[in-house]
Structure 1
Amino acid sequence: MIITKNEKQDIFKMSIQVRLNGFSFCILNCSNNEITWYKKIDLGKEQSPVEILKEIEKLYAEETNLQTEFLEVIVLFSNNLYTVVPESFFIEEEASTYLKFNTKILKTDVVAHDMLAHGLVNVYIPYTNINNYFFDKYGEFEFRNNISVLIEAVLAKNTESKNAQVYLNDYSSYYDLVIVKQNKLLLANTFQYDTKEDFIYYLLFTAEQLQIDPSEFNLWLLGDISKNSDNFNIAYTYVKYIDFLIPAFNFTSKLEQSETFHREAFSLLKTLKCE
């Protein structure tokens, strides 16, 4: 086939999010800046990396959209196997020592890190078996820890408000929590929960430890949470200023263009960029 000057070749980029309880795929066509495919698989409860990989392999065997040739692939690992440290204290050769206080490290674990803005480093453990699978498929690709995306997005807002800004990205059985005040990171953590009482307990306990008042901070919600949910209702009871974050993306889409979709797929969309 001869391509003339008036014809464009489609250029695809894909972001993949591997969660404790599932995974998601998002494909961007850079020739027209369009999100062409989004797929979210919810496995219900926390799964091992081995079980998650089995489900990913099953999807690849069934889904024709994944047979596309991609210019770029980015994998995001969403788990609680991370810690954020100041860059001034970070020594790459000693990376595992930053994790040993809050994470059980196995001899087979590989420790990675994301260099973030504002002099921060996120040290974390990716799933080696899943990385190996994608390397076999695509060769070299970029991978990051999922909360790194949220931290950078929050700090990029450059909010100088004297009140703390609390960002909660919910994944049905756990959530990422990032708290900033006057554009300085106070906390980045992940909490697993079973009930709505667990959901609000971790939020209020964290606020108490940081000495920020639920009647004063702003709570911004992302992810799998709606105004009709029990989690929202209990948070609304205890937190005075609560709202849904409205992410701004300039993609077109044959899929959903709703704010709900943008909040659910926030990390995936945030990592997709065309030159």
Structure 2
Amino acid sequence: MNFRVSDTLTAHNSEKYRMSIRLSPGGLSFVGYIPSQPESFLYRSIELDRSKSYAYALQELSSEHPFFSYSYKELSVVSTRDPYTLVPEAVFAEDRTQQLMAFTFSSPGKKALFQSLKELEAVLLFGIDPEIHTLFLQLQPQATFVHGVAPFLLHWKKQSRVAYPKQLYAVLQEDRMDTACFDKGALRFVNGFRIDDRADILYYLLYVWKQLDLNPIDDQLFLSAAPEVFSDIRDTLRNYLMQVEPMNLPAAAVPTDAQIPADIIALMGCES
């Protein structure tokens, strides 16, 4: 596979870049920028060979392109599909992450990773394919592994602190929906759902709303989705809920015409 991430990124200036590599279903995307140089912004999304395992296709790609092993100012590897859970900070034990992962999820083959979310007084525990984890550690020993839901949780907590009604947040990306409910900055609920069609979106949102006993008149639902999906879902939901609004993502230096995944925009907003 022959491609260039960007003509502006070279081995000579890579140490100035903040880079994120987002692992998505069947592919990955690259977002990078030099904080003091807006014109340096780059975004590229590619599909991997689906006839091969994700880890093997990624290894082939990395062996063909030297930018995988460039030195960067910061490099985040963003997981989007792997299972996650929040563990209270007070009871989390780093030396038991693998055991906790095996107990919580039916995916014992995953490598257990964790991310501290001090603002939530919690630790985000998530799993990743061990081959992918090993490959990135070989290419980028200083890489930071993060889960795509983390920047959303931090942004939603901050946004909900100044709001009187409760807020249910939902972000749709690929075939997944992540949801969380906050009440004046306090997290009440978080979960992710696989989405096969639009009926699933409506079902899960209304089910969560009912389970949390949210008020259909006063409480708010903030939704992030592709424009055509958002309009359809909003119009249907407004038959049941009064306040259904588009989600505001944290401010980030992103070109307006770039179709960048919402979790990457949220991550960049948290970094700025």
Normalising by structure 1, what TM-score? 0.78
Contact in 2 for aligned 1:84/1:120 (Cα 8 Å) = yes
Contact in 2 for aligned 1:247/1:262 (Cα 8 Å) = no
The equivalent residue for 1:109 is: 110
How far has the Cα of 1:139 moved from its partner? 2.2
Counterpart CA distance in 2 for 1:86 and 1:264 is 23
Counterpart CA distance in 2 for 1:267 and 1:34 is 20
Q: 1:66 to 1:135 in 2, by over 3 A?
A: closer
Q: 1:228 to 1:210 in 2, by over 3 A?
A: closer
* Partner residue of 1:79 out of 78, 81, 85: 81
Within 5 Å, which residues of 2 pair with 1:51-70? Answer: 51-57=53-59, 60=62, 69-70=71-72
The equivalent residue for 2:6 is: none
How far has the Cα of 1:22 moved from its partner? 4.0
The equivalent residue for 2:269 is: 270
Deviations 1:233-255 (A, max 9, x none): 4334433212222334352x5xx
SS at match of 1:199: helix
Amino acid of the structure 2 residue aligned with 1:23: L
Deviations 1:106-149 (A, max 9, x none): 2x432121111131111111222222222222222111122111
The equivalent residue for 1:199 is: 201
SS at match of 1:215: coil
Q: 1:187 to 1:32 in 2, by over 3 A?
A: same
For the aligned residue pairs, the C-alpha RMSD in angstroms reads 3.3
What percent identity do the matched residue pairs reach? 19
SS at match of 1:38: strand
Q: 1:131 to 1:98 in 2, by over 3 A?
A: closer
Counterpart CA distance in 1 for 2:263 and 2:227 is 9
The equivalent residue for 1:29 is: 34
Structure 2 residue 176 is matched with structure 1 residue 174: yes
Structure 2 residue 16 is matched with structure 1 residue 15: no
The equivalent residue for 2:157 is: 155
Structure 2 residue 128 is matched with structure 1 residue 129: no
How far has the Cα of 1:263 moved from its partner? 4.0
Counterpart CA distance in 2 for 1:29 and 1:168 is 30
16-25 vs 126-135, which deviates more? Answer: 16-25
Counterpart CA distance in 2 for 1:35 and 1:168 is 31
The equivalent residue for 2:221 is: 219
Counterpart CA distance in 1 for 2:264 and 2:237 is 22
Contact in 2 for aligned 1:20/1:79 (Cα 8 Å) = yes
Q: 1:155 to 1:78 in 2, by over 3 A?
A: same
Within 5 Å, which residues of 2 pair with 1:133-144? Answer: 133-144=135-146
Stretches of structure 1 that go unaligned for 5 or more consecutive residues are: 1-7
Counterpart CA distance in 1 for 2:251 and 2:207 is 33
Normalising by structure 2, what TM-score? 0.78
Amino acid of the structure 1 residue aligned with 2:116: M
How far has the Cα of 1:73 moved from its partner? 0.7
SS at match of 2:95: helix
How far has the Cα of 1:161 moved from its partner? 2.7
Amino acid of the structure 1 residue aligned with 2:19: M
The equivalent residue for 1:89 is: 91
Amino acid of the structure 2 residue aligned with 1:129: E
**Alignment length, in residue pairs?**
258
Contact in 1 for aligned 2:68/2:139 (Cα 8 Å) = no
Higher relative contact order structure (alpha carbons within 8 Å, sequence separation ≥ 6) = 1
